[in-house]
Amino acid sequence: MKIVILGNSAAAVGAIEEIRRKGSSDEIEIYSAEPYLVYSKPMLAHVLSGEFGIHNIGYRDENFYKTFDVKLNLSLPAISLDVSGKKLHFVNGASTDYDRLLISTGAHPLDMQIPNLSADNKFYLTTIGETLDIAKGAADISDAVVIGAGFIGLNVAEALVRLDKKVVVVELADRILPSSLDHRASEILREKLEAEGVSFRLSNKIVSADEVDGKLRSVLLEDEEELPCGLIGVCIGVKPNCDFARVAGIIVNRGIIVNERMQTSAPDVYAAGDVAEGPHILIEENRLVPNWPNAYRQGKVAGANMIGSDLIFDGGIEMNSYNFANIPINSIGFTAQVYDGAEEYFTLDYKKGNYRKIVVKDGKLIGALVVGDISKTGMIGWLIKTKIDISSYINEILNLEYGLSFLPKEVLNERIIRY
Protein backbone atom coordinates (compact mmCIF):
# COMPACT_ATOMS: atom_id res chain seq x y z
CA MET A 1 0.00 0.00 0.00
CA LYS A 2 1.35 3.47 -0.78
CA ILE A 3 0.97 6.20 1.78
CA VAL A 4 1.58 9.78 0.69
CA ILE A 5 2.03 12.61 3.18
CA LEU A 6 1.74 16.26 2.15
CA GLY A 7 3.74 18.35 4.54
CA ASN A 8 6.89 17.66 6.55
CA SER A 9 6.32 18.79 10.11
CA ALA A 10 5.04 17.49 13.45
CA ALA A 11 1.91 15.75 12.12
CA ALA A 12 3.88 14.00 9.42
CA VAL A 13 6.39 12.69 11.96
CA GLY A 14 3.56 11.56 14.23
CA ALA A 15 2.03 9.57 11.40
CA ILE A 16 5.32 8.04 10.26
CA GLU A 17 6.40 6.98 13.74
CA GLU A 18 3.03 5.40 14.49
CA ILE A 19 2.86 3.55 11.19
CA ARG A 20 6.30 2.00 11.73
CA ARG A 21 5.67 1.42 15.44
CA LYS A 22 2.65 -0.66 14.55
CA GLY A 23 4.89 -2.83 12.38
CA SER A 24 3.72 -1.73 8.96
CA SER A 25 6.26 -1.73 6.14
CA ASP A 26 3.99 0.06 3.68
CA GLU A 27 5.62 2.52 1.33
CA ILE A 28 5.62 6.10 2.67
CA GLU A 29 6.38 9.19 0.59
CA ILE A 30 6.59 12.73 1.86
CA TYR A 31 6.17 15.83 -0.27
CA SER A 32 7.28 19.11 1.27
CA ALA A 33 7.06 22.62 -0.10
CA GLU A 34 10.21 23.58 1.81
CA PRO A 35 13.80 22.51 1.14
CA TYR A 36 14.55 21.43 4.72
CA LEU A 37 14.47 18.22 6.75
CA VAL A 38 11.75 18.37 9.38
CA TYR A 39 12.55 21.11 11.87
CA SER A 40 11.06 22.49 15.06
CA LYS A 41 9.10 25.63 14.21
CA PRO A 42 9.05 26.89 17.83
CA MET A 43 12.84 27.08 17.65
CA LEU A 44 12.76 29.67 14.86
CA ALA A 45 12.86 32.45 17.44
CA HIS A 46 16.11 30.98 18.74
CA VAL A 47 17.50 31.09 15.19
CA LEU A 48 16.51 34.72 14.89
CA SER A 49 18.18 35.61 18.18
CA GLY A 50 21.32 33.84 17.08
CA GLU A 51 21.31 31.05 19.66
CA PHE A 52 20.82 28.24 17.14
CA GLY A 53 21.75 27.85 13.49
CA ILE A 54 19.22 26.66 10.91
CA HIS A 55 20.85 23.27 10.83
CA ASN A 56 20.59 22.57 14.58
CA ILE A 57 16.87 22.91 14.88
CA GLY A 58 15.99 19.55 13.38
CA TYR A 59 12.94 17.94 15.01
CA ARG A 60 14.45 14.51 14.40
CA ASP A 61 18.01 13.61 13.43
CA GLU A 62 19.33 13.51 9.86
CA ASN A 63 18.87 9.75 9.61
CA PHE A 64 15.21 9.88 10.45
CA TYR A 65 13.84 9.32 6.97
CA LYS A 66 16.26 6.48 6.31
CA THR A 67 15.63 4.81 9.66
CA PHE A 68 11.88 4.99 9.18
CA ASP A 69 12.10 4.08 5.50
CA VAL A 70 10.43 7.21 4.14
CA LYS A 71 11.02 8.63 0.68
CA LEU A 72 11.50 12.37 1.05
CA ASN A 73 10.68 14.83 -1.73
CA LEU A 74 11.66 18.39 -0.86
CA SER A 75 10.79 21.71 -2.50
CA LEU A 76 7.80 20.18 -4.27
CA PRO A 77 4.55 21.95 -3.41
CA ALA A 78 1.34 20.23 -4.56
CA ILE A 79 -1.06 22.23 -6.73
CA SER A 80 -4.07 20.00 -7.11
CA LEU A 81 -5.70 16.89 -5.79
CA ASP A 82 -7.84 14.39 -7.68
CA VAL A 83 -9.89 12.70 -4.99
CA SER A 84 -11.68 10.15 -7.16
CA GLY A 85 -8.58 9.22 -9.17
CA LYS A 86 -6.48 9.28 -6.01
CA LYS A 87 -3.82 11.38 -7.65
CA LEU A 88 -1.75 14.41 -6.62
CA HIS A 89 -0.30 16.94 -9.05
CA PHE A 90 2.78 19.03 -8.28
CA VAL A 91 4.05 22.42 -9.33
CA ASN A 92 6.70 20.97 -11.66
CA GLY A 93 4.19 18.88 -13.57
CA ALA A 94 4.96 15.65 -11.77
CA SER A 95 2.18 13.61 -10.21
CA THR A 96 1.78 10.65 -7.92
CA ASP A 97 -0.88 8.13 -7.00
CA TYR A 98 -1.75 7.26 -3.47
CA ASP A 99 -3.63 4.58 -1.59
CA ARG A 100 -3.84 6.73 1.52
CA LEU A 101 -3.18 10.45 1.69
CA LEU A 102 -2.41 12.56 4.75
CA ILE A 103 -2.76 16.30 4.30
CA SER A 104 -0.61 18.01 6.92
CA THR A 105 0.21 21.20 5.10
CA GLY A 106 0.02 23.38 8.17
CA ALA A 107 -0.89 27.03 8.04
CA HIS A 108 0.48 30.28 6.67
CA PRO A 109 0.72 33.60 8.43
CA LEU A 110 -2.17 36.03 8.00
CA ASP A 111 -1.20 39.16 6.22
CA MET A 112 -2.18 42.73 7.04
CA GLN A 113 -2.70 45.54 4.54
CA ILE A 114 -1.44 48.85 5.87
CA PRO A 115 -1.55 52.02 3.78
CA ASN A 116 1.93 52.94 2.48
CA LEU A 117 3.52 49.76 3.78
CA SER A 118 5.24 47.69 1.11
CA ALA A 119 5.60 43.94 1.25
CA ASP A 120 9.40 44.23 1.51
CA ASN A 121 9.14 45.71 4.97
CA LYS A 122 6.73 43.11 6.31
CA PHE A 123 8.21 40.05 7.97
CA TYR A 124 6.87 36.79 9.43
CA LEU A 125 8.23 33.96 11.51
CA THR A 126 6.66 30.66 10.54
CA THR A 127 9.34 29.05 8.35
CA ILE A 128 13.11 28.95 8.10
CA GLY A 129 12.88 31.05 4.93
CA GLU A 130 10.92 33.75 6.74
CA THR A 131 13.38 33.65 9.63
CA LEU A 132 16.34 34.21 7.33
CA ASP A 133 14.48 37.13 5.78
CA ILE A 134 13.73 38.82 9.05
CA ALA A 135 17.27 38.26 10.28
CA LYS A 136 18.56 39.97 7.17
CA GLY A 137 16.04 42.76 7.47
CA ALA A 138 16.90 43.33 11.10
CA ALA A 139 20.61 43.60 10.46
CA ASP A 140 20.71 47.31 9.71
CA ILE A 141 17.76 48.69 11.58
CA SER A 142 17.54 49.72 15.20
CA ASP A 143 13.80 49.99 15.87
CA ALA A 144 11.13 47.40 15.13
CA VAL A 145 7.40 47.15 15.54
CA VAL A 146 5.62 43.84 15.97
CA ILE A 147 1.90 43.59 15.25
CA GLY A 148 0.26 41.02 17.50
CA ALA A 149 1.17 40.04 21.06
CA GLY A 150 0.50 36.35 20.55
CA PHE A 151 3.03 33.55 20.83
CA ILE A 152 4.82 34.28 17.58
CA GLY A 153 4.65 38.04 18.12
CA LEU A 154 6.31 37.86 21.53
CA ASN A 155 8.85 35.38 20.17
CA VAL A 156 9.85 37.89 17.48
CA ALA A 157 9.88 40.73 20.00
CA GLU A 158 12.11 38.92 22.49
CA ALA A 159 14.46 37.70 19.79
CA LEU A 160 14.86 41.22 18.40
CA VAL A 161 15.49 42.62 21.87
CA ARG A 162 18.26 40.06 22.25
CA LEU A 163 19.70 41.45 19.03
CA ASP A 164 19.72 44.85 20.77
CA LYS A 165 16.81 46.32 18.84
CA LYS A 166 14.18 48.57 20.35
CA VAL A 167 10.87 46.82 20.00
CA VAL A 168 7.28 47.99 20.35
CA VAL A 169 4.46 45.45 20.21
CA VAL A 170 1.09 46.71 19.00
CA GLU A 171 -1.92 44.59 19.96
CA LEU A 172 -5.62 45.01 19.27
CA ALA A 173 -6.72 43.28 22.48
CA ASP A 174 -6.32 44.80 25.93
CA ARG A 175 -3.85 42.18 27.10
CA ILE A 176 -0.88 40.21 25.82
CA LEU A 177 -1.13 36.56 24.73
CA PRO A 178 -4.88 37.26 24.60
CA SER A 179 -5.92 33.78 23.52
CA SER A 180 -4.50 32.11 26.62
CA LEU A 181 -3.81 34.74 29.32
CA ASP A 182 -6.32 36.69 31.36
CA HIS A 183 -5.70 40.23 32.64
CA ARG A 184 -3.87 39.25 35.81
CA ALA A 185 -1.43 36.93 34.07
CA SER A 186 -0.98 39.43 31.26
CA GLU A 187 -0.06 42.18 33.74
CA ILE A 188 2.56 40.04 35.46
CA LEU A 189 4.23 39.09 32.20
CA ARG A 190 3.92 42.49 30.61
CA GLU A 191 5.75 44.17 33.46
CA LYS A 192 8.61 41.69 33.19
CA LEU A 193 8.82 42.02 29.40
CA GLU A 194 8.86 45.80 29.69
CA ALA A 195 11.79 45.49 32.08
CA GLU A 196 13.54 43.48 29.37
CA GLY A 197 13.07 46.27 26.86
CA VAL A 198 9.85 45.36 25.06
CA SER A 199 7.26 48.18 24.94
CA PHE A 200 3.57 47.58 24.42
CA ARG A 201 0.69 49.49 22.87
CA LEU A 202 -2.43 47.56 23.83
CA SER A 203 -5.98 48.15 22.53
CA ASN A 204 -4.31 49.82 19.62
CA LYS A 205 -3.54 49.32 15.95
CA ILE A 206 -1.47 50.74 13.11
CA VAL A 207 -3.33 52.95 10.65
CA SER A 208 -0.56 53.88 8.22
CA ALA A 209 3.17 53.69 7.53
CA ASP A 210 5.77 56.16 6.30
CA GLU A 211 8.31 54.85 3.77
CA VAL A 212 11.02 56.80 1.96
CA ASP A 213 12.64 55.20 -1.10
CA GLY A 214 11.31 51.84 -0.02
CA LYS A 215 12.84 52.16 3.43
CA LEU A 216 10.42 52.12 6.33
CA ARG A 217 10.79 55.12 8.64
CA SER A 218 7.84 54.99 11.02
CA VAL A 219 4.23 53.91 11.56
CA LEU A 220 1.23 55.81 12.86
CA LEU A 221 -1.05 54.36 15.53
CA GLU A 222 -4.77 54.83 15.91
CA ASP A 223 -4.25 57.21 18.85
CA GLU A 224 -1.95 59.29 16.63
CA GLU A 225 1.32 58.24 18.24
CA GLU A 226 4.14 57.89 15.73
CA LEU A 227 6.57 55.00 16.23
CA PRO A 228 9.94 55.11 14.46
CA CYS A 229 10.78 51.69 13.05
CA GLY A 230 12.74 49.96 10.31
CA LEU A 231 10.73 46.74 10.03
CA ILE A 232 7.34 45.33 10.90
CA GLY A 233 6.75 41.83 12.18
CA VAL A 234 3.27 40.70 11.18
CA CYS A 235 2.20 38.16 13.78
CA ILE A 236 -1.55 38.31 13.81
CA GLY A 237 -2.30 34.64 13.44
CA VAL A 238 -2.19 31.84 10.92
CA LYS A 239 -4.60 30.42 8.36
CA PRO A 240 -4.68 26.74 7.41
CA ASN A 241 -3.26 25.81 3.99
CA CYS A 242 -6.47 24.12 2.86
CA ASP A 243 -7.59 25.94 -0.29
CA PHE A 244 -6.48 23.20 -2.64
CA ALA A 245 -8.45 20.70 -0.52
CA ARG A 246 -11.56 22.85 -0.82
CA VAL A 247 -11.06 23.03 -4.55
CA ALA A 248 -10.77 19.24 -4.62
CA GLY A 249 -14.22 19.02 -3.07
CA ILE A 250 -13.22 18.09 0.49
CA ILE A 251 -15.37 19.64 3.21
CA VAL A 252 -13.51 22.61 4.63
CA ASN A 253 -14.64 25.12 7.24
CA ARG A 254 -11.79 27.20 8.59
CA GLY A 255 -9.65 24.13 8.26
CA ILE A 256 -10.16 20.68 6.79
CA ILE A 257 -12.94 18.97 8.76
CA VAL A 258 -11.89 15.60 10.22
CA ASN A 259 -13.63 13.04 12.43
CA GLU A 260 -12.14 11.26 15.45
CA ARG A 261 -10.12 9.05 13.14
CA MET A 262 -8.72 12.09 11.31
CA GLN A 263 -10.69 11.11 8.19
CA THR A 264 -11.76 13.91 5.84
CA SER A 265 -14.89 13.79 3.70
CA ALA A 266 -12.88 12.22 0.87
CA PRO A 267 -12.27 8.47 1.01
CA ASP A 268 -8.76 7.44 2.14
CA VAL A 269 -7.82 11.09 2.65
CA TYR A 270 -6.80 12.15 6.15
CA ALA A 271 -5.77 15.48 7.61
CA ALA A 272 -3.82 16.37 10.74
CA GLY A 273 -2.09 19.29 12.40
CA ASP A 274 -2.61 23.02 11.98
CA VAL A 275 -4.57 22.43 8.78
CA ALA A 276 -7.18 20.20 10.43
CA GLU A 277 -10.33 21.13 12.27
CA GLY A 278 -10.99 18.14 14.47
CA PRO A 279 -12.68 16.94 17.68
CA HIS A 280 -12.10 18.80 20.92
CA ILE A 281 -11.89 17.23 24.35
CA LEU A 282 -14.10 19.71 26.16
CA ILE A 283 -16.70 20.81 23.63
CA GLU A 284 -18.87 19.03 21.13
CA GLU A 285 -17.66 20.87 18.06
CA ASN A 286 -14.74 20.71 15.67
CA ARG A 287 -12.03 23.24 16.29
CA LEU A 288 -8.72 24.41 14.96
CA VAL A 289 -6.19 23.61 17.70
CA PRO A 290 -2.92 24.90 16.26
CA ASN A 291 -0.37 23.69 18.79
CA TRP A 292 2.60 21.37 18.33
CA PRO A 293 1.54 18.53 20.66
CA ASN A 294 -1.89 18.42 19.05
CA ALA A 295 -0.32 18.21 15.59
CA TYR A 296 1.85 15.28 16.57
CA ARG A 297 -1.04 13.44 18.20
CA GLN A 298 -3.39 13.98 15.31
CA GLY A 299 -0.65 12.73 12.98
CA LYS A 300 -0.28 9.65 15.16
CA VAL A 301 -4.01 8.92 15.03
CA ALA A 302 -4.12 9.49 11.28
CA GLY A 303 -1.13 7.18 10.79
CA ALA A 304 -2.75 4.36 12.78
CA ASN A 305 -6.05 4.62 10.93
CA MET A 306 -4.37 4.82 7.56
CA ILE A 307 -2.91 1.36 8.00
CA GLY A 308 -6.18 -0.03 9.25
CA SER A 309 -5.35 0.01 12.95
CA ASP A 310 -8.33 1.58 14.64
CA LEU A 311 -7.32 4.49 16.86
CA ILE A 312 -9.73 7.10 18.16
CA PHE A 313 -8.54 10.62 18.87
CA ASP A 314 -9.71 11.75 22.35
CA GLY A 315 -9.78 15.30 21.16
CA GLY A 316 -7.54 18.31 20.97
CA ILE A 317 -7.15 20.92 23.66
CA GLU A 318 -5.59 24.35 23.86
CA MET A 319 -2.21 23.88 25.47
CA ASN A 320 0.52 26.48 25.72
CA SER A 321 3.76 26.81 27.57
CA TYR A 322 5.74 30.01 27.61
CA ASN A 323 9.03 31.14 29.10
CA PHE A 324 9.07 34.79 28.05
CA ALA A 325 11.27 36.96 30.30
CA ASN A 326 12.19 33.71 32.08
CA ILE A 327 8.75 33.50 33.62
CA PRO A 328 7.34 29.98 33.21
CA ILE A 329 3.69 30.04 32.16
CA ASN A 330 1.53 26.99 31.54
CA SER A 331 -1.99 27.26 30.23
CA ILE A 332 -4.35 24.48 29.27
CA GLY A 333 -8.00 24.48 28.33
CA PHE A 334 -10.18 27.58 28.56
CA THR A 335 -8.28 30.23 30.44
CA ALA A 336 -8.42 33.60 28.71
CA GLN A 337 -11.91 34.84 29.44
CA VAL A 338 -14.75 34.40 31.86
CA TYR A 339 -16.88 31.52 30.61
CA ASP A 340 -20.60 30.96 30.87
CA GLY A 341 -21.53 28.64 33.72
CA ALA A 342 -17.96 28.27 34.96
CA GLU A 343 -16.34 29.45 38.19
CA GLU A 344 -12.82 30.77 38.49
CA TYR A 345 -10.62 30.20 41.51
CA PHE A 346 -7.21 31.74 41.85
CA THR A 347 -4.33 32.67 44.11
CA LEU A 348 -2.16 35.63 43.25
CA ASP A 349 1.11 36.82 44.70
CA TYR A 350 1.90 39.72 42.39
CA LYS A 351 5.18 40.55 44.11
CA LYS A 352 6.59 37.08 43.68
CA GLY A 353 5.02 36.75 40.24
CA ASN A 354 3.02 33.64 41.16
CA TYR A 355 -0.49 33.27 39.77
CA ARG A 356 -2.54 30.14 39.74
CA LYS A 357 -6.03 30.00 38.28
CA ILE A 358 -8.35 27.09 37.68
CA VAL A 359 -11.64 27.21 35.84
CA VAL A 360 -14.32 24.78 36.99
CA LYS A 361 -17.62 23.86 35.39
CA ASP A 362 -20.04 21.33 36.89
CA GLY A 363 -17.36 20.15 39.29
CA LYS A 364 -14.84 19.47 36.54
CA LEU A 365 -11.77 21.41 35.52
CA ILE A 366 -11.99 23.06 32.13
CA GLY A 367 -8.96 25.28 32.31
CA ALA A 368 -5.83 26.05 34.26
CA LEU A 369 -3.47 29.01 33.97
CA VAL A 370 -0.30 29.09 36.02
CA VAL A 371 2.37 31.78 36.08
CA GLY A 372 5.62 31.40 38.00
CA ASP A 373 5.65 28.16 39.97
CA ILE A 374 4.47 25.58 37.45
CA SER A 375 4.57 22.60 39.82
CA LYS A 376 1.98 19.93 39.17
CA THR A 377 0.48 21.54 36.08
CA GLY A 378 0.82 18.24 34.23
CA MET A 379 -1.45 16.52 36.73
CA ILE A 380 -3.99 19.31 36.40
CA GLY A 381 -3.88 18.96 32.62
CA TRP A 382 -4.62 15.28 33.05
CA LEU A 383 -7.56 16.05 35.33
CA ILE A 384 -8.95 18.33 32.64
CA LYS A 385 -8.53 15.71 29.93
CA THR A 386 -10.07 12.91 31.97
CA LYS A 387 -12.89 15.07 33.37
CA ILE A 388 -12.59 13.75 36.90
CA ASP A 389 -14.83 15.45 39.45
CA ILE A 390 -12.62 17.64 41.64
CA SER A 391 -15.23 19.72 43.40
CA SER A 392 -14.04 18.57 46.86
CA TYR A 393 -10.43 19.39 46.13
CA ILE A 394 -10.46 22.91 44.75
CA ASN A 395 -8.47 24.35 47.64
CA GLU A 396 -5.91 21.58 47.53
CA ILE A 397 -5.42 22.07 43.79
CA LEU A 398 -4.97 25.80 44.26
CA ASN A 399 -2.38 25.58 47.00
CA LEU A 400 -0.38 22.78 45.44
CA GLU A 401 -1.38 20.16 48.01
CA TYR A 402 -3.20 18.01 45.47
CA GLY A 403 -1.44 14.92 44.21
CA LEU A 404 -1.89 11.54 42.63
CA SER A 405 -2.50 10.26 46.17
CA PHE A 406 -5.90 11.98 46.06
CA LEU A 407 -7.13 9.75 43.26
CA PRO A 408 -9.34 6.79 44.17
CA LYS A 409 -7.43 3.56 44.80
CA GLU A 410 -8.63 1.87 41.59
CA VAL A 411 -7.46 4.76 39.44
CA LEU A 412 -4.10 4.88 41.22
CA ASN A 413 -3.58 1.15 40.91
CA GLU A 414 -4.38 1.22 37.27
CA ARG A 415 -2.10 4.11 36.44
CA ILE A 416 0.84 3.52 38.70
CA ILE A 417 1.08 -0.20 38.55
CA ARG A 418 3.27 -0.93 41.51
CA TYR A 419 1.52 1.19 44.09
Task: Tell me how many residues contact other proteins (CB under 8 A).
Answer: 39
For residue 380, the minimal CB distance to other proteins (Å) is 8
For residue 59, the minimal CB distance to other proteins (Å) is 4
Interface pattern 255-294 for other proteins (x via CB under 8 A): -------------------------------------xx-
Among 42, 228, 237, 353, binds other proteins (CB under 8 A): 42
Among 40, 95, 96, 259, binds other proteins (CB under 8 A): 40
Query: Measured from the CB atom, is 21 or 246 closer to other proteins?
Result: 21
113 binds other proteins (CB under 8 A): no
For residue 406, the minimal CB distance to other proteins (Å) is 5
SS3 68: coil
Q: Per-residue DSSP letters for 235-302?
A: -S-EEES-HHHHHTT--BSSSEE--TT-B-SSTTEEE-GGGEEE-BSSSSS-EE---HHHHHHHHHHH
Name the DSSP letter for residue 133.
H
| Binding span for other proteins by CB under 8 A among 140-148, 211-219, 334-342, 403-411 | 403-411
Query: Measured from the CB atom, is 83 or 412 closer to other proteins?
Result: 412
* 243: Cβ contacts below 8 Å, ≥ 6 apart: none
For residue 65, the minimal CB distance to other proteins (Å) is 14
Cα–Cα distance measured from residue 193 to residue 371, given in angstroms and rounded to the nearest whole number:
14
411 binds other proteins (CB under 8 A): no
Burial of 77 (0-12, 13-18, 19+ CB in 10 A): middle
Site for other proteins in 311-330 (CB under 8 A): 319, 321-323, 326, 328, 330
| Binding span for other proteins by CB under 8 A among 38-46, 114-122, 135-143, 228-236 | 38-46
Site for other proteins in 166-205 (CB under 8 A): none
Site for other proteins in 362-401 (CB under 8 A): 374-379, 381-382, 385, 396
Among 5, 6, 8, 14, binds other proteins (CB under 8 A): 14
57 binds other proteins (CB under 8 A): yes
For residue 322, the minimal CB distance to other proteins (Å) is 8
Cα–Cα distance measured from residue 377 to residue 386, given in angstroms and rounded to the nearest whole number:
14
* 403: Cβ contacts below 8 Å, ≥ 6 apart: 376, 379
Name the residue among 276, 280, 239 with its Cα closest to residue 102.
Answer: 276
SS3 176: coil
360's enclosing H/E stretch is: strand 354-361
Query: Measured from the CB atom, is 7 or 230 closer to other proteins?
Result: 7
Query: Measured from the CB atom, is 206 or 390 closer to other proteins?
Result: 390
Q: Are 238 and 108 in contact (CB under 8 A)?
A: yes
**If DSSP states are collapsed to H, E and C, what string results for 290-354?**
CCHHHHHHHHHHHHHHHCCCCCCCCCECCEEEECHHHCCEEEEECCCCCCCCCEEEEEEECCCCE
For residue 338, the minimal CB distance to other proteins (Å) is 22
The binding site for other proteins (CB under 8 A) comprises 14, 40, 42-43, 46, 57-60, 292-293, 296-297, 300, 319, 321-323, 326, 328, 330, 332, 374-379, 381-382, 385, 396, 403-406, 415-416, 419
